[in-house]
Chains A and B, each alone.
Chain A
Amino acid sequence: MSLSDIRPTKGFLMQLKKRLSYIERGCEFLKLKRDHLAKELTASIDILRGRRRLLLKNLKEAYDAVIAAYLSLGPTEVESQARSIRRRLEIDILPKSVMGVRFPYVKILSKPSVDVELDITLSRAAEKVGAILEEIIRVAEFEARIERLADELGKTNRKVNALENIVIPQYKAVIKFIADKLDEESLEELVRLKLIGGALARRRG
């Protein structure tokens, strides 16, 4: 708020006080949102850690199975059989919102289906990879969610800090300035009235 915008009037003072009350209430809501986001973020990070650990373990098993298939059948046969898997992974990315934070939700439309005959080593590998496909997608979703939560938490925190440390103090300072100004004017008025009253009384007397 610049000095040129300040009108040291009672009406303006009341307006400012009303605005300050809204801003303080808004700041309280933002603090609540910040606390909630922080809690949500911490819980999500813990869940992600666990999911990642499990995914890495399953991923290692899947990779081991794929390596074993390659070493057993040779690369040409593995690639020939793998190429014959017709249905691919199809996904749709939809938005989801929690507390105003938008993050992607992956809807799996179709998973690869093994409707051709794979050698047993390769079909075991395909089963393991298929089983973790959905896990990978969910972990990726979680990571995006955490990224967005952290981003939103940062923004909310900055807003709260800006309100608490800059805007509210500014408003309070202006309100004090106007209040002091008005007090000064009313004191001057009072003194003026007293002086005028005294002068009038002296003239009459």
Chain B
Amino acid sequence: MKLIIKEYLSSLKERGELDILLPTLLSQMGLEVFSKPLSSGNRQYGVDVAVCGHIEGGEKTVYLFSIKSGDLGRKDWNSNSKQDMLPSLQDIINVYLAVHLPEQYKGLPVSICICCGGIIKEEIRIDVSAFEKTNTKDNIKFEEWTGDKISGYIEKYLLREELLPEGSQKLLRKSIAMLEEPETSYKYFKELITQIVNNVTAKDKSKLIALRQIYLAVGILFSWSRDDNYYESAYLSSELALLYAFEILKPFLVKNSKISKVMKEIFYSIIKLHFEINAEFIEKKVLSQANKLHGLSYMVRTNNSIDINLKLFDILGRISLMGIWGYWFIEMKREDKSFISKMETIITMLHHSIIEVIQNNPTLYMPYKDSQAIDIALAYLFLSSNKNNLMFLHDYFGTLINQIEFQLYARKDKYPCNIEDYSKLLHHSENDTQEYFESVTQGSILYPLISMISAKNGFDDIYEKIQILQKKYLKHCNFQIWYPDKNSEKHYYLNDELHGATLSNVAIDADKEEYLDQVFGECKHLSIFEEISSFKYGYWTIGLLASRHYRLPVPICLFNINE
């Protein structure tokens, strides 16, 4: 296990990764963290992390960490950069200790920790030792915190048997080993996360440890995925980790205690980790091909159009959700203008990319499964946030409905159906009887969703077309809308039971105002913004993520949010 952690540590970046993990670990070790990296990422006079306390029964000491990612070599030691290790250490001695160390810690022994995720290379060994020897004084010592040492502490303080259920470490190893088989890797990761959640006791500390463990597990899996350049398992696992972590966090959302703050911070770190995984995958891999005609479709490398359709709608949901996370980050960090500007750039780029992806990959104009309405809903939620996209959305839904009409009219085999099983979907084209058609189109969330979107945005032609489609071909189909109910809060994030209520046979034959009244009127019976914690406490993205991950319809009330 130590090897796995060492590998993980050596892959961590200096900013946003190692400097987040280290305070988490040190806190878990019982030390008081009194200084963390600034949001700008700049050091405070050479110090990245400052803590105070005892390590393994030693003397109470102030530990000042200067952090470097990966191995520490000549390049990072002293190559005339302000960010190098040597000038940082000099800053600590000359400035931080002299004028910046908080009053209450003065007089305590100080240990300056040269910290890196990997090793200290032999090429600078003499330089480091010489510096340490020259600057060691009675109350100032030097320590070297390399990947080996940190991983030892992680193993001892975060993953030891008493803290982690039996077999959990094995599950993490298995999940890593099976990264190339994402479904299997995800399965093991899910078992691991489930064990962590089940191991939580009533004590707050136990919950805190669980969150830290989840963060660490996702981080380790991500680092290995990055090495393999294969993010599928990390993506799905981080989604699941966020949902399970939210379940643990739920009771602390209303509290303002110190521990709840720490927990929210760790949860935020998991969100950032998930966003980073998303960004690595979407930005680097997906969007680079978005501007090519049929680019993403060819990337599926298959002889089967079903594979392309399933994968591309999945990708559509992921890109859209990433954009939605962008809005969430902006809401969270209102005061950080440079961060907001960065996020806004990402959002604009994602708006543009989604439109490109759809236009260049026409399979996205025809959902083969009714449940792909979930991805379409996410795409709509994201794109409709910019009014300039409304014309595109009108064209998109118009084409989509026209194609469905053609398929239903000509009784072809590709129309939105209720088949979820892949094998059955393969055989779908073999049966063209009316009886079969009715059996695989018994219910729909897609048509009511598009009707609602059309009614809301004045896409009257599309609204009327769906009315015609229902009359002509889909009389037997139960047009329905799902709403979270009282039980939903209990099961929303773990998906351990069915929950929510469905409004059956929604009247799309009514005029659009009446239809909207019916659809949104039902929201009044249960306000998700009062009853569902993720929406209530500002983590609405978690609710949407649950919809994507567990293939639950997106709560319709979210579409009425402006009103």
Do A and B truly interact? no
